[in-house]
Structure 1
Amino acid sequence: MSDNLFALYRTRVVEALARIVPDLPQDVAARVEVTPTRDPAHGDMATNAALLAAKPARRKPGDIAAELAVLLAAGEGVVHAEPAGPGFVNITLAPATLQAVLPAILRDGHAYGDGVIGHGITINIEYVSANPTGPMHVGHCRGAVVGDALANLLSKAGHRVIKEYYVNDAGNQVAALAWVVYWRYLEAIGTSITEAEFETLVPGGALQYRGDYLVPVGEALAAAHGPGLATPDLGPADPAIWLDTVRDFSLDWMLRMIREDLAQLGVGHDVFTSEREILAAGVADAAIARLDEAGLLYEGVLEPPKGKIMADWEARPQTLFRATQFGDDVDRPLRKSDGSNTYFANDIGYHGDKIARGADVLVDVLGADHGGYVARMKAAVKAIAPSYAPDRPVTFEAVICQIVHVIRDGQPVRMSKRAGTFITLRELLDEVGRDAVRFTMLTRKPDAQMEFDLDLAVAQTRDNPVFYVQYAHARCRSVLRAAAELDGIGPIDSASLASVPVDTLGNDAELALIRRLSNWPRLVESAAQAREPHRVAFYLNDLAGDFHMLWNRGRDDATLRFLQADRPVETRARLALVEATATVIRSGLAVLGVTPVEEMR
C-alpha cells in the first residue's frame, strides 16, 4: 500500500472515473481531489470527481457520482461509498486499510510524508532581507519564521530549495548608518564637539538610527583604528578619509549581529547576496538590455496615479518597461531622466540573476508594506525569464506577512530602550524562547494581522498551541518509557513495532487518531502547493487533540489504556500507535523548526 493513502485513493478515483467518462480531458482529471471529510460520520474521504466531470461529459453530476460510488465501493479497502451533495462521493475505508498506515509510519520514520511533487523543481526563497542598519526586530521575526518554515516544507515536499538573504547594502540607508557609527566613534575617542554640531555636517542635517545598539560599533571602530579616522584634535575628518572604511566596518558588524539573531531563532540561509556586488557586476544593466532587445522598453512620460504621486514618478521622459503587457496596471520606469537606474530596475536584475543560477520558482517573503510590489515583479519575471531560461518555465510568487503586535496583560508592549524604536528579536526570544516564538508565529495565516501574546506563549494550558503539541509528544515519550519497564511487552523500537499486529485498534478514538496520521502526507503536499506552512501548525494542534482525547478516554475506560501488562498483544498495538503519533509530531515540528520535548517539567 502507498504511504500516501489519499494519493492512492485519488489514483483509484481517477481510474474509476475514466471508466465512466472515457474521454475525460486530462486537465479535468488533474483537478480531481480526494480530501478528508469534515465530519467522520460521513466517511473517511470525499472526492469532487463527479462534479468536475459533469460539464465535459454533459451529464448530471449526481448521476456520475452514483456510478462512481458503485465502482469505488467494489474496490479494495472500501466498505462503503455513497453520493453526497451536488456531486461529491463520500468514501468509508475498512479499519484494516487505516490500520495499515501505522507500519508505514514506523518503517519510514521521519521520512513519512516526504513528497514527490517538487522533484526536479528548484525554488529560491528569499526571506528576511532586512536592511543591515540594526538588530532584528519583531517586524522581521514573522517573515523569518514563515520563510524558514516554508523552505523546510518545500524541501519535505521534494523540492530543491535555496534559502537566500538579499543584503541591501547599496542604498542611502547604508551611508546614513556610516554617519551614525562615525559619530559613535568620535564619542568613543573623546571628541569635544557636540552631537548638534556634528549633525550640521550630516547630509540631510540629522542622524538616523539613534538606538544605543550602535555604541559598541563605534567603540569597536575606535579600538580597531584609534584616532586615525579623525582630525588631530579628535574632530570629524573629511568623509573622503573615513566614509568607505566606516561603512564597510559597520556593514560587517551589522551582518554578524543579524546572523547571530537569526541563529538564535533557528533560521539559516544558504546564500547571502550583496546588492552592491551584483549591481557592480552589471546585472541591472544586463536585464535592461535584455528587455530592450525584446522590444519591451520605450521612452515616455507616465501620468501620476490619481490622488498621490509615486516615489519613482517624474513628469519627464524616462525609460519605461511595458509592464502592462504582463499583467501590471501601469508601465514602470527603469531609468530616470538623469540616466540612473530605478530601484525596480535593480530588483529586475537581481531576480534575473536568481533565474540564471537555476531557480525555477522565485518566492519572496515580503512585509505588509510591499503589497504593491507583487504585480510589477510578476510582470518583470514573466518578461525576462525567457531570455534567462529559454528551455524551462519560471514563475514569481510572493508571501506577504502582516504586522505583529506584541501584547502583555492585554496591553501593547512598550518599545525597547536599547533599540530606540522597536522591540528586538533577542528580547522576544529571551522572554519566551525560540520554540514558542516560532510556533506562535505560525498560528495565523501570514497575510492576517496577529497579536503575539507574551503571557499565552509561556502558559501551560490548552489555549497555548505550542504547549499543547509539545505536551502530546511528551506524553507519547512517557508512555514508551513506562513500557520499557514492563515485563513481557517485548522490544518497543520502531522497527519491532512496525511488525506487530494492529487489528485490535478498533475503537473510534483510536481510528480517529490513525485517520489523522494518514492525512500527514496529503497535508505536506497541499500546504507546500499553497505556500502555507501555518497549515502544519494547525494540523499538529488537531493531531495533539486527537491524542489527548484518546489519553483521556483511557482514564475513564481501563480497556483503552495504552499499557496493560495482562494484554501484551493489545498493548504492543497501542505502543505502535503511540510511536507513530510521536514520529509524525516530530516530523511536523521539524518543518516548523521547533524542538520536540521528551518530558514536561
Structure 2
Amino acid sequence: MTLYTRFAAHIDAALDTLVAAGTLPGGLDRRNVTVEPPRDASHGDLATNAAMVLAKPAGTNPRVLAEALAAELGRLDDVDSVAVAGPGFINLKLTDDAWRGELSAIPAAGSDYGRAPSSKGVTVNIEYVSANPTGPMHMGHCRGAVVGDALASLLEFAGHTVIREYYVNDAGGQVDVLARSVHLRYREALGETVTIPEGLYPGDYLVPVAKDLAAEFGDRFVGAPESEWLATFRTRAVAAMMAMIREDLALLGIHHDVFSSEAELQAAGKPEAAEAELRARGLVYDGVLEAPKGETPDDWEPVELPLFRSTAYGDDQDRPIRKSNGQWTYFGADLAYHFQKAQGADQLIDIWGADHAGTVKRIVAAVAALTGGQTRFDVKLVQMVRLLRGGEPVKMSKRAGNFVTLADVVREVGRDVVRFTMLTRRADAQMDFDFAKVVEASKDNPVFYVQYAHARIASLHRRATEAGIAEGEADLSRLDTEELALVKLAAQFPRIVETAAAAREPHRIAFYLYDLAAAFHALWNVGNDRPDRRFLVVEDAEATRARLFLASAIGQIVRNGLAIMGVEAVSEMK
C-alpha cells in the first residue's frame, strides 16, 4: 500500500466515522472521491474533494461537511495540519516522518513499487501495429507500435490482464498486388529482365521471396494464367512479409500474443455470424444509401445493401457491411473482427494512425451495438512522425522503395532512443524525430536526461563503495526539507501509473520521469556550490548513507518507469 492509497483508506475510514455519528448518511457513492497533490504546493501535500463530492447527495453544506471531515483527519499521526479551502476542499500537510516512511517503502517494494495487484479481473485486448503485410516496417508504423506496446505494459503494471494483438490484413486487394509484385520478381529470378510498373511494390525486399519460389517451382508459373498462381504466391508472400515484420518489431522489443488473420476470419464465417447477430437485434437491415452529397455522379444508382444502424449509436449515417457484389466492406470485416475480440476481453483498445480518424465513430458504434454497451472501447489515434537529420527531411530508402525502414532507424540510434522518443509527446500530437537531437547529450533530450539520472545514481554507489562507505541502515532523519521535496515527487509514481492507465496515455510516464530526473539533477547540482550538500560526503558517513538511500529509491522508480516504456535503465553513459 502506497501513501496515496493509504490516505484514500484513511479518508474512507473517516467518512465511516461520520456515518456512524449520524453526520453523514450511509450508502453514498464514494467512487469520485480523490486524493491527489494540490495544484499549488504551498497549500499542502495532499488534497481531497470528498466534501465537495458528497455534500449534495448528503443534503448538506460542503464547507460544513469538510470541517467535520477535517477534524477526523487531523487526528491521524501522519497529519501535521489540515485546512479547509474555498467551498470545501481539504488540504493536508503531512509530517516529515510520513514522507520518510514512504521513502522506505520504495526500495522495500522494489520493482513492484507502483504496481497494482493483479486481482482486478479485467482483461484488456490491445490491437496495435496491424500494418498491411506488404513489406518491412517503416517509421510510419513505429510510433503506433511503441505507443501500443507501452500502453500494454502500463495496463499490466496497473493490474490488468492484457492481450497484445496484431490484425493481419491479408484479405484485401493489397495482398493481391503483393502477389503480383512477387510474381514479377519471380520471373526476374528466372532470368527475365523486368520493369516494375506503377501500382506494384518496387522494393528489393521481395527478391528473396521470389528466389525461393523460383527454386521451388522452376518456370512452372512464368506463363501460367494468374488464377493458377495468385493464391499460392499470395500465401507465401504474406507469410514472408509477416516473418519480416516480426523481426522488425523484435528490434523494438515488441512481441504480440495473438496474430489474427482477416482471411481466416472470413473463411470461418465470422462476418456472417456478426451480421446474423445484428439482424436478430434489428441492428442490420436491407436499405438504400442516400445519394452522394453535391452533384450526383452519372453512374450512381440506388442499390439495396445490408446496412448497420450506426446512427442509433451516434454516427451520422447508417453504414453498409457488404458491397453490391456481395463482398464485405472494410467496415463489415472490421465489425466481425471486433465481435470476435469482444468475446475474449472485457475492454478493447485500438491504436490507429490519424488517417483513420474518419472511421472511429462507426466502429465505436458497432462495438457498442455488439456488446450491448458493456465493453469499454477506446481508439487512440497516433499522428505521423516527420524524420529529420539536422533539421532537413530524411531521404527515402532505396531498398524499401519509397520509405524509411524502422530497422534502419533502430540500428542507427538504438532501440531505447526510438522507444523513449516516441513517448515524449501525446500520441495525437505531431512529432519531429531528428536523428541529431535524439542522441544529443543535453537536458533538452529527455532520453539522455532520464538515463543520465540513473547512470549518475549507479556511479554514486560505486564511488561510495570506493570511499569505504558501506550501504547499511540509514538514518532518514538526516534528510531535510529540500531532500524530502524529492521524496514527495517520487511518491507520486503509483498515482501517475493509475491515472495514465485510466486515461490510456503512456506518455504520462515519460513526462513524469523527466520531471523526476530534473528534480534529482537539481538537488545534485546544489552540491556544486555547497560541498556539504553533496550526495557523497566522505567526512559524514551518516548523511551520505541517508542520501544514498534517497538516490536508490529514485533509481528504483526510474527503473520501474523505464520498464513500463520498454527502455533499459543504463548504469553508464557511453
| TM-score scaled by length of structure 1 | 0.90
Post-superposition shift, 1:423?
A: 1.6
Q: Which residue, out of 357, 360, 380, partners 1:371? A: 357
Give secondary structure in 2 for the equivalent of 1:228: coil
* 1:13 alignment counterpart: 11
Q: Which residue, out of 366, 379, 401, partners 1:380? A: 366
Letter of the structure 2 residue corresponding to residue 33 of structure 1: T
Letter of the structure 2 residue corresponding to residue 323 of structure 1: S
**2:98 aligned with 1:97, yes or no?**
yes
* 2:44 alignment counterpart: 43
Give secondary structure in 2 for the equivalent of 1:132: coil
- Of all paired residues, the percent bearing the same amino acid is 51
Post-superposition shift, 1:307?
A: 5.4
Q: Which residue, out of 432, 436, 448, partners 1:451? A: 432
Tell which deviates more after alignment, 543-552 or 377-386.
Answer: 377-386
Tell which deviates more after alignment, 319-328 or 17-26.
Answer: 17-26
CA contact (8 A) 1:24 1:56 kept: no
* 2:329 alignment counterpart: 342
CA distance in 2, matches of 1:272, 1:12: 46
Tell which deviates more after alignment, 145-154 or 276-285.
Answer: 276-285
Give secondary structure in 2 for the equivalent of 1:267: coil
CA distance in 1, matches of 2:295, 2:544: 70
CA contact (8 A) 2:368 2:374 kept: no
Give secondary structure in 2 for the equivalent of 1:550: helix
CA distance in 1, matches of 2:381, 2:27: 35
Post-superposition shift, 1:281?
A: 0.8
Aligned ranges for residues 70-469 of structure 1 at < 5 Å? 70-116=71-117, 119-191=120-192, 194-195=194-195, 206-230=198-222, 236-304=223-291, 306=293, 315-356=302-343, 358-385=344-371, 393-469=374-450
Letter of the structure 2 residue corresponding to residue 384 of structure 1: L
Aligned CA distance change for structure 1 residues 25 and 217 (closer, same or farther; 3 Å): same
CA distance in 1, matches of 2:353, 2:498: 25
CA contact (8 A) 1:261 1:426 kept: yes
CA contact (8 A) 1:517 1:581 kept: yes
Aligned CA distance change for structure 1 residues 307 and 534 (closer, same or farther; 3 Å): farther
Post-superposition shift, 1:61?
A: 3.6
CA contact (8 A) 1:287 1:349 kept: yes
Give secondary structure in 2 for the equivalent of 1:195: coil
- Say what the alpha-carbon RMSD is for the aligned residues: 2.3
Letter of the structure 1 residue corresponding to residue 114 of structure 2: G
Aligned ranges for residues 28-39 of structure 1 at < 5 Å? 29-39=30-40
Q: Which residue, out of 23, 33, 39, partners 2:25? A: 23
Tell which deviates more after alignment, 368-377 or 110-119.
Answer: 110-119
Post-superposition shift, 1:175?
A: 0.4
CA distance in 1, matches of 2:267, 2:321: 17
* 1:389 alignment counterpart: none
Aligned CA distance change for structure 1 residues 309 and 369 (closer, same or farther; 3 Å): farther
CA distance in 1, matches of 2:417, 2:26: 49
CA contact (8 A) 2:118 2:161 kept: no
Q: Which residue, out of 524, 539, 548, partners 1:575? A: 548
Give secondary structure in 2 for the equivalent of 1:471: helix
C-alpha distance after superposition, 1:140-177 (max 9, x if no partner): 00000000000000000010001000111111100000
Aligned CA distance change for structure 1 residues 337 and 45 (closer, same or farther; 3 Å): same
Tell which deviates more after alignment, 244-253 or 362-371.
Answer: 244-253
Post-superposition shift, 1:262?
A: 0.4
Aligned ranges for residues 47-58 of structure 1 at < 5 Å? 47-58=48-59
Q: Which residue, out of 535, 543, 558, partners 1:585? A: 558
User: Where does structure 2 lack aligned partners over 5 or more consecutive residues?
Assistant: none
| TM-score scaled by length of structure 2 | 0.94
C-alpha distance after superposition, 1:541-592 (max 9, x if no partner): 0110111111111222222222233333222222111111111101100000
Q: Which residue, out of 544, 561, 567, partners 2:534? A: 561
**2:481 aligned with 1:507, yes or no?**
yes
* 2:506 alignment counterpart: 533
Give secondary structure in 2 for the equivalent of 1:105: helix
C-alpha distance after superposition, 1:214-257 (max 9, x if no partner): 23332333234332322xxxxx4211332122112211111111
Post-superposition shift, 1:41?
A: 2.2
Post-superposition shift, 1:118?
A: 6.8
User: Where does structure 1 lack aligned partners over 5 or more consecutive residues?
Assistant: 200-205, 231-235, 387-391
CA distance in 2, matches of 1:314, 1:442: 48
Give secondary structure in 2 for the equivalent of 1:503: helix
CA distance in 2, matches of 1:540, 1:415: 33
Aligned length: 568
CA distance in 2, matches of 1:188, 1:60: 83
CA contact (8 A) 1:118 1:154 kept: no
CA contact (8 A) 2:28 2:58 kept: no
Give secondary structure in 2 for the equivalent of 1:244: helix
CA distance in 2, matches of 1:307, 1:371: 23
CA distance in 2, matches of 1:125, 1:188: 40
Give secondary structure in 1 for the equivalent of 2:218: helix
Aligned CA distance change for structure 1 residues 309 and 133 (closer, same or farther; 3 Å): farther
C-alpha distance after superposition, 1:462-512 (max 9, x if no partner): 00000000000000101111222233x33x3xxxx5x5331221232x112
Tell which deviates more after alignment, 85-94 or 544-553.
Answer: 85-94
